[in-house]
Amino acid sequence: MDSRPTPIARDLVLVGGGHSHITVLKRFGMKPVPGAQLTLVCRDVHTPYSGMLPGLIAGHYSFDEAHIDLRKLAMFSSARFIHDEVVGLDPDRRELQFSNRPPIRYDLLSLNIGSTPGTGEVPGAGEFAVPVKPISEFLPRWSALLGRVESLDRPPRIAVVGAGAGGVELALSVQRRISDRFASLERSGAPEIHLFGASPTIMPTHSRGARARFRRILAERGVAVHLGSPVSAVVQGGLHTDGGPPARFDEIVWVTNASAAGWLAESGVAVSREGFVLVDETLRSVSHSEVFAAGDIAAVDAHPREKAGVFAVRQGRPLEENLRRSLWGRPLRPFRPQRRFLSLVSTGDRYAVASRGIWSAEGRWAWKWKDWIDRRFMAKYQDLPAMSRPKEFSPEAAIPGVRDIPERDIRCRGCASKVDAVTLAGALGSIRPFWRDDVPAGLATRDDAAILNVPDGKELVQSVDFFPAIVDDPYLFGQIAANHALGDIFAMGAVPQSALAVAGIPFAAADKSEDLLRQMLLGANETFRGVRASLAGGHTSECPELALGFVVNGLADHGTGLSKGGLRQGDALVLTKGLGTGVLFAAEMRLAVKGRWINAAIDSMLQSSQKAAEILRAHGASGCTDITGFGLAGHLVEMLEASSTEAEVDLEALPRLAGASHCLEAGVRSSLYPDNRKVWDRVANGASAPGHTAFPLLFDPQTAGGLLAGIPHGRVADCLSALHAAGYVRAARIGTVRRRRSGSLLSIRNGGIT
C-alpha cells in the first residue's frame, strides 16, 4: 500500500455544533470515512448542552462542566474547524457564504444550527428582551443581566415570557441564582419572578400530573403565573399583554418558540411555514438531496415534534449513519422518533420532576438521576480517547469518489510534482493582489517571475519562512503564514513591498486541490493587502500535508534599519505579544487544551506587528527581532551575542497566552522544545535551571510571535502605554540589558526588574 494518506474526494460540511452534530463528529472520529474531508463550521468554540443550562444558570455547574469543546472534538474527528457564522447558502453552487471569510464549497451539507430568537412578531421584544435562543448567545446576556440586577438598590422584578417546560425551568433557576447571589452579598429581599404564557396552562406538552406538580412548586416558590396572557409588546422597563395593563419589569427573559435563520428561506431550500428546513424520514432535504438537517432547524414532515434537545440527541446516530451512507452512495435508512420519552425538569434547587407519558414523580432523587444522565452524556464528548494515526492509502477501502481520481503509482518529483495548470488557474482566478508601481510584473500580470524596483535611497530587506499548517482552516492558515513571514521585515524597520509564495498541497481530487490553494492564497493575500504589499507570484508542489511559505521583501531607508546587534547597556527589553503558541498547539494535538485557548492564540498570531514596530521605533528602539521558532531565549541570545551585551529576564514578567501555563504545568512541550532548551546550557555559565513554572516558556517555539526590542529606560512607560492603546494588550517589559561581564550571558529573576 501507498504510504500517503487517502486523497480527499468529497467534502462533508457540518454547519453548527448542535446535539446531533456532536454525535456525528464523535462517531466519524471513531470510524473515519477514507476519502471524505469533514469540516465543522460554527460561530462558537464551546457549545452548551441544553440539558445542563438550567443547572448552569442556577449555579450548580461550571462553564466547562456544561459545555462541549467543539474545537477539541473537531481535532479528534480530523475535521477542519472554521470559526465563523454562515450568512448564506447557494445550493446550486453548493456553496456557503460567511460573515468574515470567503465562501467554501461542499459535496454534502448537514445543518444543525438550532434556532434564533422568536422575537420578531412582538414589537420591542428584539430590543428590550433577553432571548434564550440561541443558547450559546444567552450566557453572555445572562452575565450582563446578573450585573444589572446586582446594581439595583432593591430586589429585581423579572418577567419570563414562555410557560413551556423551558420557561418554567428557567424561571425557577433564575430565581434560585439571584436569591443565592443576594444572600452572598448580604442583601435583603428576594427577586420577584413573573411567568407569562399564551396558552391556558403551563407546560402544555406534558402530562396532567407533571403540570399539577409544577403549578404547586411555582406557587410554593412565589412565582406569579399569568396564563392566557400573550405578550403583545415589550418596552423599555416593561411589557404589555393582550387585554391587560402595562407591567413594569427590570428584566424580561424571552423563552417562547424560536424561529429559523432567514438565509435558509432565501436559499431556495424547501422550508416549512416557520422557515425550518423540510426533511424526510432520512433527515435529508425534500428539495436538495445533498442537504441534511437535524435538531431544532429541521422540520420532519412525517413526524412533527416540539423543538427539544432530546430529539436532537436522538437524531445524531441516524444522521451519522445516513451521511456515511450518502458518502458511500448507499440507500438511506428512515428514522422514526419515539413518541414518549423520559422528561426530567429541574426546579432550580437540586430537585426535579420526572415524567413519561401519564406517569410523574418528583424529589431530590430525580435531580440526582438527571445529574447522572447529563454528566454521563457530557463525558462521552469531553473524555475523548487517544487519537490514532491515519491509515495508509488503500483505494479499495475508500469511498467511490477516491477511485475516480487518476491514480499515480509513482509520485513524480521535481517540477512534475507541481499542481496542474488548470487547477492553478482556477485557484488564482479569485486572487486580487495589491498593485504597487514598484512591482511592475508578477502575479497581477500573470508573469513567470516578479520584477521589483528598489527606489533610490532604499535598501531591499528580504526574508523567507515556510512551515506545515498549524491550523486546519486553509484560509486562516494563509493569514497566519503571511503574518509570520512579515515579522522579520517589521523587526528590521522595513516597509513590506512584495512576497513570493511556496505552497504545498496534499494529493486530492482536482477541485479539492484548487479549493485548498485558493483558500490559502486568499487568506495570505488579505494579510499582504492589509500592509500594502503585493503577492507577486510563487510555486506549488504536491506535499504529504498542507504547507505554505513566503519570500518576503521590504524597503528601508539606507542606514536606518534595526538589527539584532543594536542593544545597548541599560535598555529595557520589551516584548509585544504573549508567549505560548508552541505548547498550546502541542497540547491541542494531544486533545489536552481548551478551544478558547487556541482561539486566543490564533487571534494573537493574526495580529500584525506593523504598528508595534512603528511604536517601538518611535520610542527609541535600539535592537529588535521577532520571536519565532527558536523561542524567546534563542532569539534573545542571538541579540546579546551580536551586541556584546548580556541580559537579565524576569520570569514573572513574561506575558503568557491563556492556557499556556496550564499546559506547561501539565508537562506538555513542543517537539522543538528540547533543542531550544540547549541554549540555556550554552549561555548560563553553569547556572542551574530555575524551578519557576514559567522557565520552559523561554524555549517555547512561537508562530507569528511578537517583537522583542531594547527601549531606553526612561521611555519604557510611554512605549508600553502606546502598545497597549494600539491593541497589544499583553506587551510587557521583561528584562534589562547589561554590559557584558564574565558571568552568564542570560540570567534569570523570579520577580521584579531592576
C-alpha–C-alpha distance, residues 579 and 574, integer Å: 13
Which of helix, strand or coil describes residue 43? coil
For residue 86 the three cell numbers come to 454562515
What interhelical angle do 208-220 and 165-184 show, nearest 10? 20
Half-sphere exposure of 203 (CA within 13 A, CB side): 22
Take residue 317 and report the three cell numbers written for it: 446516530
DSSP structure class, residue 345? E
- DSSP codes joined into one string, 66-114: GEEEHHHHHHHTT-EEEES-EEEEETTTTEEEESSS--EE-SEEEE---
Q: Helix (H, G, I), strand (E, B), or coil: what is residue 2?
A: strand
Strands 359-363 and 104-105: unpaired
Nearest to 593 by CA among 36, 69, 47, 38: 69
User: How many other CB atoms are there within 10 angstroms of residue 380's CB atom?
Assistant: 12
Strand, coil or helix: 408:
coil
Query: Is the separation of the CB atoms in 601 and 682 below 8 Å?
Result: no
Beta carbons within 8 Å of 147's beta carbon, 6+ residues apart? none
Q: How far apart are CA 321 and CA 749, in angstroms?
A: 58
- Counting other chains too, the contacts that 555-560 makes at CB distance below 8 Å and 24 or more residues apart are 555/438, 555/454, 555/455, 555/458, 555/459, 555/460, 555/461, 555/494, 555/495, 555/497, 556/458, 556/459, 556/461, 556/492, 556/493, 556/494, 556/495, 557/457, 557/458, 557/459, 558/457, 558/458, 558/459, 560/493
CA 627 – CA 643 distance, rounded (Å): 17
User: Which candidate, 27, 25, 111, 123, places its Cα nearest to that of 74?
Assistant: 25
Task: Return the SS3 of 729.
Answer: coil
Report d(CA 737, CA 711) in Å as an integer: 10
CA–CA distance, 268 with 243 (Å, rounded to integer): 40
In sequence order, the 6+-apart residues with CB closer than 8 A to the CB of 391 are 6, 32, 34, 397
Q: Answer whether the bond into residue 337 is a cis peptide, omega within 30°.
A: no
Q: Which helix (H) or strand (E) holds 539?
A: strand 534-542
> Helix or strand or coil: residue 254?
strand
Nearest to 95 by CA among 22, 41, 44: 41
Tell me the DSSP string of 225-248: EE-S--EEEEETTEEEETTS--EE
Q: Terminus-to-terminus CA distance in the chain, angstroms?
A: 62
Return the amino acid letter for 373.
Answer: I
Burial of 316 (0-12, 13-18, 19+ CB in 10 A): buried
Compute the distance between CA of residue 664 and CA of residue 419 in angstroms, rounded to an integer.
40
Q: Tell me, yes or no, if 415 is annotated catalytic.
A: yes
Q: Are the beta carbons of 214 and 203 closer than 8 angstroms?
A: yes
Residue 689 corresponds to which amino acid? A
Closest CA to 169 of 143, 144, 149, 195: 195
Q: Which of 412, 415, 543, 663 is catalytic?
A: 415
Q: Which sequence positions are flagged as catalytic?
A: 415
